Amino acid sequence: MPGHIKKTSGPDPDPSPWLCVSHELKEKNKAKPYDPKKSVWVPNKADGGYLEGLMESKDGNKVSVKVNGEVKVFKEDQVCQVNPPKFDCSDDMAGLTFLGDACVLWNSVVRYVNQLIYTYSGLFCIAINPYKRFPIYTLRTMEIYVGKRRNECPPHIFAIAEGAYQGMMNSGINQSILITGESGAGKTENTKKVISYF
């Protein structure tokens, strides 16, 4: 197998570390400092992303936020609440308490950093190209998804393929899967995986 995971002559490797959030990671996320009334996201002009801070005070439509030890003032509409730490690495972003841009970006980043490249967002499955191969497209992985509903297994393109297949078999009506993204996002690779799953 190309990439950093070498295929041996034995059985397929366990795909769980690349599909499921580990118990250790859940505990680590829960231990993160969090104040439900003061923890907020603010824009980071340096990189176009967001920084987490603590709201100090609010004066009309101006909010003072302590970010990295210094207090900065932002417009109220630039500030977004932070989700409780138990939602970090959430499988489905539709279940987040707060759905601002910063919250969605943070969940995607945390999952990507922990090598969890698939995430649901309601009906959609978001894939972030890791630019390396993980052992999550093996026969052993396929067996996890056969005959299962989408909510019974971790996010994966195979779950989407299984849903389309079950829809076709149950209704007798053709189904489709739309795979979109920018150049290099992995559209062709994911299409190949869907076809191999069928």
Q: Scan for tokens 């971790």, then name that residue.
A: 154
Q: Scan for tokens 């943070």, then name that residue.
A: 106
Can you give the pLDDT of all 198 residues of the chain as single tens digits?
445 556 566 788 999 999 999 999 999 988 888 999 999 999 998 888 999 999 999 998 999 999 988 999 999 999 999 999 999 999 999 999 999 999 999 999 999 999 999 999 999 999 998 888 899 999 999 999 999 999 999 999 999 999 999 999 999 999 999 999 999 888 999 999 999 999
pTM of the model: 0.86
Cα 64 from Cα 76, distance rounded (Å): 9
Give pLDDT, residue 1: 40
Q: Are 25 and 31 in contact (CB under 8 A)?
A: no
Q: Are 126 and 162 in contact (CB under 8 A)?
A: no
How many C-beta atoms lie closer than 10 Å to residue 123's C-beta? 9
Name the packing angle between helices 157-171 and 187-197 (round to 10°).
Answer: 50
Q: Are 18 and 134 in contact (CB under 8 A)?
A: yes
